[in-house]
Structure 1
Amino acid sequence: MRIINIKTIFLFVGLGLIASCGSGGDSPAEPEVKLPEKSILALPVNGETCSAFGVIANDDTKAEINFSWGAASHADSYILKITQAGNLVVNQTLSTTTHKAILDKGKTYSWTITAKNTDGENLSTTHSFTTPGKPIGNYVPYAAVINFNINSSTSMASLSWIGKDEDSNTNELKYDISIKEDNVSKVSLTNQTQTSLADFAVKLNSTYQIKINTIDKHGSYSSSVLNYTYE
């Protein structure tokens, strides 16, 4: 009986060791990160004067402008930012994909939507528009429409943009161009007249921020920002 008991004890001890080794090999699964997709801006139409707007009673210097954008996958909320001549005039967090804002008539505004959730944020492209009415002083230029493309086979990038202004010819516009690679300055140019840059090398898994200020003959300007991660 004693021999059987000893064997039985050894058997249980062996099974216990195997069980403890097996359970220790498993590691908890990493939580899946789901960043929101980028919102597509719809209204106001980029680079145009608003034709549909709300009238503000007893104040003909203001107009109610409708904003709308596409729903972004995995987004819990949206941050609407509206700027005029580089000054932030609206900064609001919303749970919907529409909003109405009361703005000055006769001015050019830029706007973006940042889709947001607990894992992070994703910034849209910059659009611009002009509110109806006579300009106060002069129209600020529209935010430049930025075109940024990367040839994955050569890791070379091409950059171009389109500027527009209600009261200046396009050949009178000037541009400040800033390109950052992982928050380190790569290109910094001021008072340029060209609307493109020669191809330049980019790095895989790097994030690029492109900012273009469009400046009219009066010195008024608007800013357009594009963020792009090369993956």
Structure 2
Amino acid sequence: MKIINIKTIFLFIGLGLMVSCGSGGSDSPEEPVVNLPAKPALALPLNGETCSDFAVVANNVNKAEISFTWSATAHANSYILKVNQSGTEIASQTLTATNYKLILDKGKSYSWTVTAKNNDGENTSATHSFITPGNPVGNYVPYAAVINFNVNSNTSRATLSWIGKDEDSNTNELKYDIEIKEDNNILVSLTNQTATSVADFDAKLNSIYRIKINTIDKNGSYSSSILSYTYQ
């Protein structure tokens, strides 16, 4: 009978264990999936219009209850509704629904945005503006500017223009303050401009651009419009 050395048996067992333990070492960990919410689309009040969807407030003829609605967005857990008047935030509500009602002064201009949020981040809508029904209290504040910003993917040249509107001023009487930031660094800062565009400029890949435009009427009243854009 052939006798196998017991040391040799232990050697083979040890090698087998080393191979089995090392077989999974080359697997790399899976990267976490990031699902940022989509940008909400604003529905009511209609942009650049006098609000028609409202309710009368009992015992107060100077107020109106305004209905806000927007689209549900993919991956959103909640929404933040913000309403501004003359550049001042007057309401900020965190909601899970896609509608809300606010009691506002009659005859004034307001702007609003909705930010969709989840645990991975957030995404803010375009800025819309409207005028509440009724006679104006003082003069109308201008509508928030409608911003048009785009980057040509072939040339990486960015273009920026906007449209201003006011109920009691001609468009040629409006002035604008413009600020453009690239990753929180100021690229452009202009005040009291009458033009509705700026010169094209080179955009940087994977940078975040924040454009803020104040629309100022002949009485010095103003509204703010803000747009964020990620160049990818």
TM-score (norm 2): 0.96
User: Which string of whole-angstrom CA distances, capped at 9 and with x for unpartnered residues, describes residues 152-201 of structure 1?
Assistant: 11110111100001111110000000000010000000000000112111
For residue 10 of structure 1, report the CA deviation from its aligned partner.
1.7
Within 1, Cα distance between the matches of 2:60 and 2:9? 94
Query: Where does the alignment leave 5 or more consecutive residues of structure 1 unmatched?
Result: none
Residue type at the aligned position of 2:17: G
2:154 is matched with 153
User: Which string of whole-angstrom CA distances, capped at 9 and with x for unpartnered residues, describes residues 71-129 of structure 1?
Assistant: 11000000000000011111000001111111110100000000000111111110000
**For 1:7, what is the secondary structure of its paired residue?**
helix
1:135 is matched with 136
**For 2:66, what is the secondary structure of its paired residue?**
strand
The answer as to 2:100 corresponding to 1:90 is: no
Within 1, Cα distance between the matches of 2:109 and 2:6? 91
For residue 215 of structure 1, report the CA deviation from its aligned partner.
0.3
For residue 7 of structure 1, report the CA deviation from its aligned partner.
3.0
User: Is the deviation greater in 27-36 or in 53-62?
Assistant: 27-36
For residue 28 of structure 1, report the CA deviation from its aligned partner.
2.9
Superposed, 1:31-180 pairs within 5 Å as 31-180=32-181
Residue type at the aligned position of 2:149: F
Within 2, Cα distance between the matches of 1:132 and 1:4? 100
Within 2, Cα distance between the matches of 1:6 and 1:27? 36
TM-score (norm 1): 0.97
For residue 26 of structure 1, report the CA deviation from its aligned partner.
2.8
Query: Where does the alignment leave 5 or more consecutive residues of structure 2 unmatched?
Result: none
The answer as to 2:186 corresponding to 1:181 is: no
